[in-house]
Amino acid sequence: MDKIIIEGGNTRLQGEVTIEGAKNAVLPLLAATILPVEGKTVLKNVPILSDVFTMNHVVRGLNIAVDFDEALNQVTVDATGAILDTAPYEYVSQMRASIVVLGPILARNGHAKVSMPGGCTIGSRPIDLHLKGLEAMGASIHQEGGDISATAEKLKGAHFYMDFPSVGATQNLMMAATLAEGTTVLENVAREPEIVDLANLLNKMGARVSGAGTETLTIRGVAELHGAEHNVVQDRIEAGTFMVAAAMTSGNVLIKDAVWEHNRPLISKLREMGVDVREEEAGIRVKSDISKLKPVTVKTLPHPGFPTDMQAQFTALMAVVKGESTMIETVFENRFQHLEEMRRMGLHSEILRDTAMIHGGQRLQGAQVMSTDLRASAALILTGLVAQGQTKVGQLSHLDRGYYQFHEKLAQLGADIRRESED
């Protein structure tokens, strides 16, 4: 099992860092490549992440040609001809995001079978909104033996209001509606940049999606879609992770090609703390002096609120800022596990349901810690940068799902960090 080892305590990150295409954009984009009946779809700026390999296997399992040219960060998909109805269990079971292939397969074939995604450590992760939306479009859904079966001779345009602006449900339903008969209106949808990226690809394929990025999507069904070419949007969470890393270490870092517009809630909170965040020609520059930063209160919300995917990393920053900070996690029910591990490093915090009180500014000591999920891994590594002494972070399979060359990029910015296999 690999471990990341950090000698922390006097790290000051300086220099420039590049970020990759967004994991949470490319996964639904790969699902969308199932839809075209003819022509190839080429996705560029694809990050080299384990979740991308998994989704490639899911799509390949439908008898679709998928070629990932890692040297070019490019995936070429050709879904011409008949495709299968059933997504391969062995890969779907590895990644709950695979559920977004349900809508595209159903829209294309009239029948789809996908295994029920399990929960994960951050929450139960239900998919009731995905299923209710497909039923609203005329699908009949039943669950047997851990699989979900959806059938619809032809999906019909519908008007569906989402109880919660679920990212995955918005993506599934948007894709299903592209081939439905008539017009679908989806209300109270997710507004994340990754939703806009997916709508852009679908429209390049010949779909008619409008309203992406707002709370209402209108999709006018078309007869069929064709292949297209598309650049995956930059990863705002990777960018945000490096912005927080710079802020925690009194650093001065330029995050190249980061998109200001996609990180406004995070930038506003960093500025409220006293971090110097500026937009430059080449990206976003973050400078800070940790001794001058002030504690803040943050509440995670669907976009354009503060992103839950930045919550763990931001609590690491709160841990080093002197004073009482508060983090309220409203999106997932169990996303504070990293704080238990950070306690082993000397963090003082109390958790009461969705609220964590963080008593920042204590001297943190390096320790051996385990990561429980993707963003917790990043948060623990960042904490290791500022803790005195050696920190070892295990369970790196979580990290590899969402960060490409994470420790190499931190080393390039001046961190004393390495990755060793400890079999």
Residues engaged in binding ligand EPZ (CB under 6 A): 23-24, 27, 97, 123, 125-130, 164, 166-169, 190, 308-309, 331-332, 374-375, 402
**Residue 165: other Cβ atoms inside 10 A:** 21
Nearer CB in complex with ligand EPZ: 13/95: 95
Q: How far is the CB of 332 from ligand EPZ (least distance, A)?
A: 5
Contact present, 170 and 164 (Cβ < 8 Å): no
Using the minimum distance from each CB to ligand EPZ, give the nearer residue, 11 or 172: 172
Closer residue to ligand EPZ, CB minimum distance, 167 or 382 = 167
The answer to whether the CB of 38 falls within 8 A of the CB of 225 is: no
120 is catalytic: yes
**Cis-peptide into 47, omega within 30 deg:** no
Q: Are 101 and 57 in contact (CB under 8 A)?
A: no
Q: Least Å distance between CB 65 and ligand EPZ?
A: 23
Q: Measure the CA angle with vertex 213, ends 376 and 118; round to 5°.
A: 40
Distance separating alpha carbons of residues 399 and 338, to the nearest angstrom: 13
| Least spacing, CB of residue 127 vs ligand EPZ, in Å | 5
Nearer to ligand EPZ, 142 or 294 (CB): 142
Which residues partner with 5 through β-bridges?
392, 418
Place of tokens 């976003």: 284
Catalytic residue selected from 48, 116, 120, 357: 120
Three-state DSSP class for residue 163: coil
Going by C-alpha positions, the residue among 89, 96, 94 that lies closest to residue 122 is 96
Q: Which residue bears the tokens 């909170």?
A: 269
Catalytic sites, residue numbers: 120
